[in-house]
Amino acid sequence: MDDVPALNPTLLRDQLMERLRAIDAQIENLHRERDALRSDLAVTDQFLAVWRRTNNVQGPPERADTTILPICRDVPIPPRKPRNPPRDYVVTEALKIIQERGKPVPRGELYEALRERGVEVFGKDPVMVLSTMLWRSVDRIVRLKDHGYWPKDEAYEPASYYPDLDEVIDVADREPEDGQIEEPDYEAEVTLRKD
């Protein structure tokens, strides 16, 4: 009989601690959701500013009637999918690898070398995403047939590539590798045009 009063405060403390942990988890989920919404709202506001300027729409922004829906506490918020680094950064790192090796580097080897340096490219087919990034940077890097990627402004004699003559002898491939394009997934960016 002496143990009964001591068990009740212990049980109460355990219940309070369990409830506190549940509330902390809910707060954490709400913070993540709030941060994601703020980010989405900032991108949407930028888009609206560009849209208004493009369509000559004047006046304050229209506000939609928003209704706050309850959050189901049993369903975890899914993690955000990873974003790719900026294309210029990936190309710069790829060019460093090529310069270090002193010869053109095929796409697969370049992808692995970038990963070893901590440059991760994501997507359904990450190697193809890398290929698309490089293909869209033809002002800095070219793909030499049967050799790999090489700096656009440097000659490579074994492939008969000479930047000044390439329009004539057509050594650099101008088509996407494997004829496919895989859209890289960057952070949403909206740039404002200055008129």
What would the pLDDT profile of 92-118 be if each residue is shown by its tens digit? 999 999 999 999 999 999 999 999 999
Instruction: For residue 161, give the nearest of 146, 144, 140 by alpha carbon.
Output: 144
Start-to-end Cα distance in the chain: 85
Q: In this structure, how many other beta carbons lie within 10 angstroms of the beta carbon of residue 154?
A: 13
Q: Cα separation of 192 and 49, whole Å?
A: 8
Per-residue pLDDT at 195 exceeds 90: no
Where b means 16+ CB within 10 Å and e means fewer, 115-133 reads eeeebebebeebbbbbbbb
- pLDDT of 188 reads 36
DSSP assignment string, 39-77? HHHHHHHHHHHHHHHHTT--SSPP-----PPPPPTTSPP
Structure tokens of 165?
Answer: 């003559």
Contact status, residue 114 vs residue 90, Cβ threshold 8 Å: yes
Give pLDDT tens digits for 150-181: 999 998 888 888 888 766 566 666 676 666 66
Give the model's pLDDT for residue 192. 35
- Name the nearest CA neighbour of 33 among 74, 64, 79: 79
**To the nearest whole percent, how much of the chain has pLDDT over 70?**
70
CA-to-CA dists, residue 121 to 46, 109, 192, angstroms = 26, 14, 27
CB 29 within 8 A of CB 171: no
On the 0-12 / 13-18 / 19+ scale of CB atoms within 10 A, 142 is: buried
Beta bridge partners of 142: 150
Cα–Cα distance, 34 to 71 (Å, whole number): 12
- How far is it, in rounded angstroms, from Cα 131 to Cα 111? 9
User: Is the pLDDT reported for residue 68 higher than 90?
Assistant: no
